[in-house]
Chains A and B, each alone.
Chain A
Amino acid sequence: MEQQRTIQKRVRYLEEKAKEVRVEIVKMIHEAQSGHPGGSLSAADIMTALYFDILRIDPNKPEWPDRDRFVLSKGHACPVWYACLALKGFFPIETLKTLRKFESKLQGHPIAGKAEGIDASVGSLGIGFSQAVGMAIEAKMTRSKYMVYTVLGDGETNEGIVWEAAASAHKYHLDNLVAVLDRNNLQNDGIAEQIMPMEPLDEKFKAFNWHVIQINGHNMADVVDALMKARDYSGKPVIIIANTVKGKGVSYMENVRGWHGKPPNDEQLAIALEDLKGSLK
């Protein structure tokens, strides 16, 4: 009962945080007039749960050797990563205004070492996942306790390297590796299952000897529960297939291909902020 209540409180806190994250995403992409809103918004609940509940990290010690590692393998969605890092205190919120601008630490696609909290360079799909595998092997080899988390796009699973990484994670029994697949069923050119049919994704990962959990990626209670179970699971790497909506939270962006990599104009920003405010209880 008591435990139930604290979980509910945590979930409510995270739901509020996720709204702040979404607001920062649309604001920063509008300011940059460039960037990828759709996949940032679909991953916002997952990323908020990771950054404000699951990851063992310290914004004052971004290089802390025992910190959990995080890799946003779908690197184009970095506005959601930057928003979480800023709200968590890794760098000032003001910095978000410099996204993609000249001499900003917030590169168009994240580069390790440029901004605090970015553990790996990403932006070429598939490669982040392999880097996460390498980090998890390093943790095993050095008997370190930290976990490695990564978030993948569903279009990203078209890349052969994703399956090469999956096979190697099994070989090295990487139960310290947790992947989340942002299953929003859209990629650059259209509906993911039409561009390249990948189903059954759960059976594929099971066949690669991964433990698979399927959830609604916008139900915060489910997201937190799945991440805790994945963290505690032993013997196998875990993938959480999170069913999501691309553009989630902004009415006109939801499930619309065209919002993969396009910034909102002033008018559209106002509507987006109104939508997100409306979602605040």
Chain B
Amino acid sequence: MNLEKASKPTRRGYSDRMLEYGSIDKDFTVFDADIGYSTYACLFGEAFPERYFNMGIAEMNMVSAAAGMANSGRTVVVSSYGVFLTMRAVEPVRSFICYPNLNVKLLSSHGGLTAAIDGVTHQATEDIAIMTTFPNMKVLCPSDPKAAEKLFDVSMQTPGPFFTRLMRDPLFDVYGDDEEFVLGGSKTLRKGSDITIAAYGDIVFQALEAAESLAAQGIDAEVLDLYSLKPYDKEAVLASVKKTGAMLVAENHQAKNGMGYEIAHLLLKHCPVPFDNAGLEDTFAESGDYPSIIHKYGLSAEKLAGRAAAVVQMKKEN
């Protein structure tokens, strides 16, 4: 699979679409916490100043105020970095947005180790665990800017709270203009018969590269892009695993309580197969360039290929 270098990061894709959408839906508002130039929510703010509220560096107040406004039925997009949205403001997200099932859409930038260079305080590596745990919350993670645009629409057109994990830096373009994305959907980016590799966001590209090197070793890997994390595409996961008989879940997140745990649970109930999941192994990462960091913490294509080959070996020994 030949991938084009992306012209922009997913945070920009999401915010570009939010700007366009401002003319389509004239009712929704956007809240920011002095990070609009970084999430690009500022683009909406410049075009629609009367619908843009920069609450300063005060995430808990911003999220709670957004809940207050959404109480009227209005849809509110809230923009910040993942670490601050999911931890600084976690209580209002849970009790006062998710519980009352309000139309608050969280634009969450700097997901996982894509904020590699900024260091641990800026790396949201527990966000998926936290957000997928809250009842009513729906969680998305686009892997390219086109998916980010389309998934913005999905979040706006589906009632209730959404959390969309976005990336700091541009990676690759995978999807064309006519690609469809639905809540609870997934994409099979590579067909294979020996093992399923399920990934989301930036790690999709590492998985695709891993699949290429596995092919050279005679292992035929299927690669799924789980762009919808909650709900996620159980049918596609089960169908793929029934065919391949082995599974590796790879995610830019703590290995614990992420999609790996979620899918292990599903497989244990319905289709137990040799399984492994790659993510941060109960550790914090550190700052550095993105390729070195994801390699050190087990998420590079090379490391994933090794993990996948070991799972295939397990299958043979079974």
Interface of A with B (CB < 8 Å)? 32, 34, 75, 100-104, 107-109, 111, 121-126, 155-156, 158-160, 187-189, 195-196, 257, 261
Contact = CB atoms under 8 A, between A and B. Distances in A.
Interface stretch (B55-63, B178-186, B215-223, B247-255): B55-63
B286 A189 contact: no
Interface string B101-140: 0000000000000000111111000000000000000000
Contacts of A126: 57
B149 interface: no
Contacts of A155: 34, 56-57
Interface in B280-305: 286-289, 292-293, 296
B297 to A, nearest CB: 11
Nearest to A78: B119
A104 B121 contact: no
A122 B57 contact: no
Interface stretch (B1-9, B35-43, B235-243): B35-43
Contacts of A121: 121
B289 A124 contact: no
Nearest to A257: B37
B287 A104 contact: yes
Contacts of A261: 38
A104 B136 CA distance: 41
B121 to A, nearest CB: 3
From DSSP, what is the main secondary structure of chain A's interface residues?
A: loop
A195 B289 CA distance: 32
Contacts of B88: 124
Given A101-B289, A155-B34, A189-B36, A123 B121 contact: yes
Given A100-B287, A108-B287, A155-B34, A123 B58 contact: no
B286 A158 contact: no
Contact of A187 (B57, B61, B117, B287): B57
B126 to A, nearest CB: 14
Contacts of B117: 32, 34, 100, 108
B293 A189 contact: no
A102 B60 contact: no
B121 A101 contact: no
A189 B49 CA distance: 14
Contact of B121 (A34, A124, A189): A124
Given A100-B287, A124-B88, A188 B121 contact: no
Contacts of B84: 124
A109 B122 contact: yes
Nearest to B118: A108
15 contacts: A75-B121, A100-B119, A100-B287, A101-B288, A107-B287, A108-B119, A108-B287, A109-B118, A109-B122, A122-B121, A156-B57, A160-B61, A189-B32, A189-B36, A195-B54
From DSSP, what is the main secondary structure of chain B's interface residues?
A: helix
List 4 tightest A-B contacts by C-beta distance, closest first: A196-B56, A123-B121, A102-B288, A108-B119
Contacts of B34: 155, 158, 187-189, 195-196
Given A100-B288, A102-B293, A107 B119 contact: yes
A60 to B, nearest CB: 26
Contacts of A34: 117-118
Contacts of A159: 57-58
A158 B80 CA distance: 15
A158 B42 CA distance: 19
A160 B292 contact: no
A101 B54 CA distance: 32
Contacts of A196: 34, 54-58
A195 B118 contact: no
Contacts of B83: 124
Nearest to A261: B38
A124 B119 CA distance: 11
Contacts of A189: 32, 34-37, 42, 54
A195 B83 CA distance: 21
A100 B118 CA distance: 7
Nearest to B115: A108
A109 B55 CA distance: 24
A103 B117 CA distance: 11
Nearest to A158: B56
Residue of B38, B54, B58, B60 with most chain A CB atoms under a 10 A cut-off: B58
Interface in B76-94: 83-84, 88
B105 to A, nearest CB: 20
A102 B58 contact: no
Given A100-B287, A107-B119, A189-B37, 20 more contacts: A34-B117, A102-B286, A102-B289, A102-B296, A109-B121, A111-B120, A111-B286, A123-B119, A124-B88, A124-B121, A126-B57, A155-B56, A158-B58, A187-B34, A188-B37, A195-B56, A196-B56, A196-B57, A196-B58, A261-B38
